[in-house]
């Protein structure tokens, strides 16, 4: 099929196998290896990307399903040298250990903070329930999302004044 999509802000048109898994297309054809494959069957969240702003498991998604859409991977979040506030907070709080699960957590956190800029710790925990981390025990991940939320709100207030 002829695919037309935008990935990390870049518009692409190319001939593809529409049945290919999105994760393979992103990693192998486009080189976005920040998208991780943990389980490959929709249970760990490591492969999460945002499609038109909504988190999607790229291991369960076919390329044909993203035709005409905007895909965002963890590689598309930083602006030049500046990490996205969620990425920065993960680094600072120790929410990244082996790092394998991190891109997936970051993408769902970005989605959460778009919808709810001031989530409680309980809301953060519920939101990340579909993502598995074997290293951190989740506390530092929740700390990171809370810290990012606080900073993004403060930045927003500054911009608004
Ligand atoms: S690799 Fe997609 S959910 Fe685990
Ligand atoms: S940091 Fe290792 S799996 Fe989460």
pLDDT score at 156: 78
State the average pLDDT for the chain: 96
Q: Where in the chain is the domain with CATH 1.10.150.120?
A: 85-160
For 140-152, give one letter per residue: b (16+ CB within 10 A) or e: bbbbbbbbbbeeb
**Residue nearest to ligand 2 atom 2, measured at CA:** 98
Query: Which atom of ligand 2 is nearest the CA belonging to 99?
Result: 1
What number is the average pLDDT over the span 79-87? 95
Query: Distance between CA atoms of 111 and 138, rounded to whole angstroms?
Result: 18
Q: Where in the chain is the domain with CATH 3.10.20.30?
A: 2-76
Cα of 26 vs centre of ligand 1, distance in Å, is: 14
> For the domain with range 2-76, which CATH number is right: 1.20.1090.10, 1.20.1600.10, 1.10.10.10, 3.10.20.30?
3.10.20.30
pLDDT tens across 16-58, in order?
999 999 999 999 999 999 999 999 999 999 999 999 999 999 9
The yes or no reply on domain 85-160 and CATH 1.10.150.120 is: yes
pLDDT tens across 94-147, in order?
999 999 999 999 999 999 999 999 999 999 999 999 999 999 999 999 999 999
pLDDT tens across 26-36, in order?
999 999 999 99
Q: H/E element holding 11?
A: strand 10-15
């Amino acid at each position: 099929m002829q695919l037309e999509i935008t990935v990390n802000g870049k518009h692409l048109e190319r001939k593809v196998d529409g049945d290919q898994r999105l994760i393979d297309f992103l990693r192998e054809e486009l080189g976005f290896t920040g998208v991780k494959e943990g389980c490959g069957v929709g249970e760990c969240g490591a492969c999460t990307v945002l499609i038109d702003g909504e988190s999607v498991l790229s291991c369960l998604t076919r390329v044909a399903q993203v035709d005409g859409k905007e895909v965002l991977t963890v590689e598309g979040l930083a602006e030049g040298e500046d990490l996205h506030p969620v990425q920065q907070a993960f680094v600072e709080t120790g929410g990244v250990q082996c790092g394998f699960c991190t891109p997936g957590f970051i993408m769902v956190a970005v989605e959460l903070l778009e919808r709810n800029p001031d989530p409680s710790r309980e809301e953060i925990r519920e939101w990340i329930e579909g993502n598995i981390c074997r290293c951190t025990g989740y506390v530092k991940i929740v700390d990171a999302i809370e810290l990012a939320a606080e900073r993004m709100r403060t930045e927003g207030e500054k911009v608004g004044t």
